[in-house]
């Protein structure tokens, strides 16, 4: 087994920006480039230098997964991405393993008929997001009393007339807002627009979008969507460069602005909850989502046995590491996917060397002993050891 270069798959979603991923990989198309996928997911399977799908390499060359081949049935359990966010993503929530299995099984007949479904697979979807530039996100519900106070301040007429009666709990407020007649939603959103237009609060606070700025961004892109009210329901989180945010299943969230590394379970299960023209399955969202107050705590960091920085993971199936300038002697039991974000990295193993530069990525087989001479920065995703 050897370290192999891989080429990821770029996704040109409308919410992406036009410069970050192109500046990383050197491929300027003039279109928004939102995501660079580095994994084996069917929706974006990376390829080797020889043009082979990464999924085929991992499945057929069992040494890449090593002892984890049986554990994961020959499939890479993680998906690494680079995200470049110019506009707010949809409000979304992901299922746990149990919820995903139940939802996938429940939709079997719908899939057979070709009807719209909420589940793409039967896998859980934990994720984490590490900032490569200042990042603003929304994640988890705030305290109910704080929510009430902010809504009363920003849409006072609508709050007194309609919303106040819906605030017996976070769940009641969430579900009731979506159930309102279209005419009432429009009245609320019109008042929100007027309120924010009249507000003297800045949209930016140094490096980050303020809560007001997030709401303004949402209105610019989704002005008729009741999700534009959700910056006042959810925590607004700011990530400085190098900070990471874990997203556990059942947590409503949305990335709003910035660039970073996203690492997740190899799943595409997304249940949307607003800020989108796409389908919203409200009953299923209610089933899987937590309506508890949420403390959006950032990932803890530590140093692993090889001197790399390790970020605490919300999943047993992936971990994220980084390495800055220096020489590292490594032997991991797990497969790894790595991408250079600054400078270059020289790998050496068994008398062979390979140098990769900014924007290039590799797959590293399990159990390989190698040195890694970094001049810049590299990010590495791995499968943790089984307990």
- Which pLDDT value is given to residue 4? 97
- Which pLDDT value is given to residue 29? 85
**How would you write the pLDDT of the chain (387 residues) with one tens digit per residue?**
799 999 999 999 999 999 999 999 998 888 899 999 999 999 899 999 999 999 999 999 999 999 999 999 999 999 999 999 999 999 999 999 999 999 999 999 999 999 999 998 898 899 999 999 999 999 999 999 999 999 999 999 999 999 999 999 999 999 999 999 999 999 999 999 999 999 999 999 999 999 999 999 999 999 999 999 999 999 999 999 999 999 999 999 999 999 999 999 998 899 999 999 999 999 999 999 999 999 999 999 999 999 999 999 999 899 999 999 999 999 989 999 999 999 999 999 988 999 999 999 999 999 999 999 999 999 999 998 765
- Which pLDDT value is given to residue 75? 93
Instruction: Look at the block and give the residue holding tokens 């976070």.
Output: 170
- Which pLDDT value is given to residue 28? 87
Please tell me the distance from the alpha carbon of residue 93 to that of residue 276, in angstroms, as a whole number. Answer: 13
Nearest to 10 by CA among 82, 90, 85, 88: 82
Please tell me the distance from the alpha carbon of residue 143 to that of residue 242, in angstroms, as a whole number. Answer: 28
Nearest to 317 by CA among 384, 252, 244, 387: 384
End-to-end Cα, the chain, rounded Å: 25
DSSP string computed for 254-316 = EEEEEEEEEEEES----EE-SSSSS---HHHHHHH---SB---PPPPEEE-TTS-EEE--S-T
- Which pLDDT value is given to residue 386? 61
- Which pLDDT value is given to residue 17? 96
Please tell me the distance from the alpha carbon of residue 133 to that of residue 197, in angstroms, as a whole number. Answer: 28
Nearest to 37 by CA among 95, 80, 75, 86: 80
- Which pLDDT value is given to residue 387? 53
- Which pLDDT value is given to residue 384? 87
Q: How many CB atoms lie within 10 A of CB 74?
A: 17
pTM, to two decimals: 0.94
Please tell me the distance from the alpha carbon of residue 213 to that of residue 202, in angstroms, as a whole number. Answer: 7
Residues sharing a CB contact under 8 Å with residue 131, sequence separation 6 or more, in sequence order: 239, 240, 241, 242, 243, 244, 258, 259, 260
Please tell me the distance from the alpha carbon of residue 271 to that of residue 124, in angstroms, as a whole number. Answer: 12
Nearest to 122 by CA among 268, 298, 340: 268
């Amino acid at each position: 087994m050897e370290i192999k270069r891989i080429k990821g798959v770029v996704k040109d979603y409308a919410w992406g920006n036009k410069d970050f991923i192109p500046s990383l990989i050197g491929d300027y198309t003039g279109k928004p480039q939102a995501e660079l996928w580095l994994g084996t997911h069917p929706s974006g399977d990376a390829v080797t230098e020889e043009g082979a799908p990464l999924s085929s390499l991992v499945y057929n060359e069992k040494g890449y997964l090593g002892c984890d081949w049986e554990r994961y049935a020959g499939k890479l359990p993680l998906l690494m991405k680079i995200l470049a966010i110019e506009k707010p993503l949809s409000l979304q929530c992901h299922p746990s393993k149990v919820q995903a299995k139940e939802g996938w099984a429940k939709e079997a007949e719908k899939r057979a008929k070709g009807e719209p479904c909420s589940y793409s697979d039967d896998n859980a979807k934990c994720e984490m997001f590490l900032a490569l530039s200042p990042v603003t996100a929304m994640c988890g519900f705030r305290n109910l009393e704080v929510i009430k106070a902010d809504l009363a301040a920003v849409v006072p007429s609508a709050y007194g007339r309609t919303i106040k009666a819906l605030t017996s709990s976070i769940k009641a407020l969430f579900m009731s807002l979506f159930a309102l007649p279209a005419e009432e939603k429009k009245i609320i959103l019109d008042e929100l627009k007027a309120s924010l237009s009249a507000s003297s609060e800045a949209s930016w606070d140094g490096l980050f979008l303020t809560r007001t700025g997030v709401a303004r961004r949402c209105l610019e892109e989704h002005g008729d969507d009741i999700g534009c009210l959700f910056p006042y329901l959810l925590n607004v989180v700011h990530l400085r460069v190098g900070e990471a945010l874990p997203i556990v299943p059942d947590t409503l969230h949305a990335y709003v602005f910035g660039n970073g590394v996203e690492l997740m379970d190899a799943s595409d299960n997304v249940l949307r909850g607003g800020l989108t023209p796409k389908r919203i399955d409200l009953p299923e969202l209610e089933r899987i989502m937590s309506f508890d107050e949420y403390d959006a705590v950032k990932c803890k960091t530590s140093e692993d046995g090889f001197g790399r920085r390790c970020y605490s993971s919300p999943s047993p199936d992936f971990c994220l590491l980084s390495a800055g300038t220096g020489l590292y002697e490594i032997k991991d039991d797990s497969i790894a996917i790595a991408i250079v974000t600054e400078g270059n990295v020289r790998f050496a193993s068994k008398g062979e060397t390979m140098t990769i530069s900014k924007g290039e990525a590799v797959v590293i087989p399990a159990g390989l002993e190698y040195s890694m001479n970094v001049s810049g920065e590299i990010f590495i995703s791995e499968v943790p050891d089984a307990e």
